[in-house]
Structure 1
Amino acid sequence: MDEQIQKGQKWLETLLKLMGVPTNVNLNRVEQNGDQTISCWLTIDESPFDLSKIEALTGKQGETIDSIQYLVNALLNIGVDENSHRFFTVELNGYRLRRQAELMAIAQRAGEKVRITGVPEEIRNLSSVERRQIHSMLEKSPDLLTESQGNEPDRRLVVRLRE
């Protein structure tokens, strides 16, 4: 297994222990490009947690789990050659899978609205990762274009018709 992926798993387990919520972290959904690992999901074992701990680790609108994911990606890619960067997705209690489905529905609704009205549609209150996911979801659409506008914390994604 990729050394950097193992470091990610160990780093997240250590962070959780320091936070007072020790548990195991499992490696799932490892994505490869040829023989090189490019990303993986670090899935936090929620079995020892009650609902309040799961909610605390996820945070309001996923803010806590997003912050943990940001930290693991930023810290483990410091000083690493750009071609060797790994992207980690931190998952807990199915949050990421549910959120991906929600984002897909948001992207589809916005796309349909733009196609019907011809008016650009703004999508607010997305994290940078979620904006990037919607960009990716709609990038192959032959008639739609996406772009981010504004500055944090009011940055938003705009879906419009291609010209």
Structure 2
Amino acid sequence: MEQQEHHGKKWLETLLSLMGFPAEVTVAYRESEIGESDECWLIINDAQLTPEQISLLIGERGEGIDAIQYLANTLINLSVDDSQQQGFTIELNGYRLQRYEELKAWTQQVAQQVRQTGREVEMPSLSSAERRQVHTFLQEVADLETESRGQEPDRRLVVKPR
């Protein structure tokens, strides 16, 4: 796995450089939300980036950083045996951690609304990774269930009573 981490770090630094955003990348591990092995985080050091560059990399509603993360996970693991593949989370300026907390709070609000009304609630505008997080947040909740409906790019997550 150490080779994958190094490859991921190098790949992301090269991508950033080609984009005109030379920045160092550090590797860190964070416990997975779903109890699997620790996740590998590639953290972009924003010390040499302007606020405009950070905003461009993150993109509107995280679309830029999501795209970079998708590319990283696809391209870095392309020629690697399934058993050696590594999942990567790309972090910049605390975006992922902040979004995780926002998503958790929103999910709790939606869960409370479903309990109070007894009706399902649709959570629009979530990336596939965010939908997965919401499914994970609520998978152990006895009185609620989640499902995804529709097709990309208009796929929606629904929270409803069991």
Deviation of the 1:79 alpha carbon: 3.4
User: Matched residues in 1 for 2:37 and 2:23: separation?
Assistant: 25
SS at match of 1:129: helix
User: Matched residues in 2 for 1:38 and 1:79: separation?
Assistant: 22
Q: Residue 56 of structure 1 aligns with which residue?
A: 56
Q: Kindly, what percent of the aligned residue pairs are identical?
A: 50
User: Matched residues in 2 for 1:22 and 1:122: separation?
Assistant: 40
Q: Residue 47 of structure 1 aligns with which residue?
A: 47
User: Matched residues in 1 for 2:95 and 2:25: separation?
Assistant: 15
Q: Residue 97 of structure 1 aligns with which residue?
A: 97
Contact 1:38/1:86 (<8 A) preserved? no
SS at match of 1:20: coil
- Is the aligned partner of 1:147 residue 2:147? yes
Contact 1:37/1:86 (<8 A) preserved? no
Give deviations 1:38-66, integer Å, cap 9, x for gaps. Answer: 63110000000111111011111111000
Q: Cα RMSD over matched residues?
A: 1.7
1:25-40 matches, cutoff 5 A: 25-31=25-31, 39-40=39-40
TM-score under structure 1 normalisation? 0.92
User: Matched residues in 2 for 1:31 and 1:105: separation?
Assistant: 20
Q: Residue 134 of structure 1 aligns with which residue?
A: 134
Deviation of the 1:83 alpha carbon: 2.7
Q: What are the ranges of 5 or more consecutive residues in structure 1 without an aligned counterpart?
A: none
Count of residue correspondences: 159
1:17-28 matches, cutoff 5 A: 17-28=17-28
User: Matched residues in 2 for 1:37 and 1:140: separation?
Assistant: 19
Q: What are the ranges of 5 or more consecutive residues in structure 2 without an aligned counterpart?
A: none
Contact 2:29/2:38 (<8 A) preserved? no
SS at match of 2:129: helix
User: Matched residues in 2 for 1:31 and 1:112: separation?
Assistant: 27
SS at match of 1:77: coil
TM-score under structure 2 normalisation? 0.92
Contact 1:69/1:90 (<8 A) preserved? yes
SS at match of 2:29: strand
Please tell me the residue identity of whatever aligns with 1:79.
Answer: S
Distance 1:37 1:116, change over 3 A: closer
Give deviations 1:12-38, integer Å, cap 9, x for gaps. Answer: 000001001111001112558xxx966
